[in-house]
Amino acid sequence: MILETKNNSMAGCRALKRNETFKSRMANDSGVESSPRAQQNQPSDMELMKEKFAKLLLGEDMSGGGKGVSSALALSNSITNLAASVFGELKRLEPMPAETKAKWRKEIGWLLSVTDHIVEFVPCNQKSKDGTNMEVMVTKQRSDLQMNIPALRKLDAMLIDCLDSFKDQNEFSYVSKDDQSEDGKNSRNDDKWWIPTPKVPPNGLSDPMRKWLQFQKDSVNQVHKAAMAINAQVLSEMEIPESYIESLPKKGRASLGDSIYKSITDEYFDPDYFFTTMDLSSEHKIVDLKNRIEASVVIWRRKMNAKDGKSAWGSAVSFEKREIFEERAELVLLILKQRFPGIPQSTLDISKIQYNRDLGQAVLESYSRIIESRAFTIMSRIEDVLQADATVQNPSNGEVKRSLPDTEEVGKTLLDFIGWTVDQEDNNTKKDLKEDSTKDVDLKFLCKPPNIVTNKRFSYLENLGMCRSPTARH
Instruction: Kindly write down the DSSP assignment for every residue of 358-387, as one continuous string.
Output: -HHHHHHHHHHHHHHHHHHHHHHHHHHHHH
Q: What is the pLDDT of residues 48-60, one digit of tens each?
A: 888 777 877 777 7
From the list 359, 350, 374, 419, the residue with the least C-alpha distance to 149 is 359
Amino acid (1-letter code) at residue 379: M
Residues 452 and 420 sit within 8 Å (Cβ to Cβ): yes
The CA dihedral of 210, 214, 216, 217, to the nearest 10 degrees, is 140
Which run of H or E residues covers position 286? helix 283-305
Lowest mean pLDDT among 175-179, 199-203, 226-230, 262-266: 175-179
For residue 95, how far is the Cα from the chain centroid?
21
Element (H, E) at 197: strand 197-199
How far apart (Å, rounded) are the C-alpha atoms in residues 54 and 160? 29
Calculate the average pLDDT of the chain: 74
Give the other-Cβ count within 10 Å of 97's Cβ: 9
Which residues lie closer than 8 Å to 260 by C-beta, 6 or more apart?
A: 278, 289, 292, 293
For residue range 306-338, list pLDDT tens digits in order.
654 444 444 556 677 778 888 888 889 888 888
Distance CA 343, CA 340 (A): 6
- Alpha carbons 273 and 449: distance in angstroms, whole number: 10
Q: What percent of the chain has pLDDT over 70?
A: 69
36-40, 181-185, 340-344: segment of lowest average pLDDT: 181-185
Nearest-10 Cα torsion for 287, 290, 291, 294: -160
d(CA 56, CA 286): 34
Helix boundaries (H) for 31-115: 36-40, 45-57, 71-87, 98-112
Angle at 387 (CA atoms; ends 384, 390), nearest 5 degrees = 155
Report whether 255 contacts 249 (CB < 8 A): yes
What is the DSSP annotation of 100-165? Answer: HHHHHHHHHHHHHGGGGG-EEEEEEEEE-TTS-EEEEEEEEE-HHHHHHHHHHHHHHHHHHHHHHT
Measured between its terminal Cα atoms, the distance across the chain in Å is 97
Range name among 122-136, 174-188, 235-249, 409-423 with the lowest pLDDT average: 409-423
Q: What pLDDT, in 10s, does the model give residues 94-119?
A: 999 999 999 999 999 999 999 998 98
pLDDT at residue 386 is higher than 90: yes
**What secondary structure does DSSP assign to 318-357, as a single string?**
-HHHHHHHHHHHHHHHHHHHHH-TTSPPPHHHHHHHHH--
Q: What is the pLDDT of residue 43?
A: 74
Tell me how far apart the alpha carbons of residues 201 and 171 are, in angstroms, rounded to a whole number.
7
Q: What is the structure's pLDDT at 41?
A: 66
Q: Report whether pLDDT(16) > 60.
A: no
Q: Looking at residue 458, what is its pLDDT?
A: 36
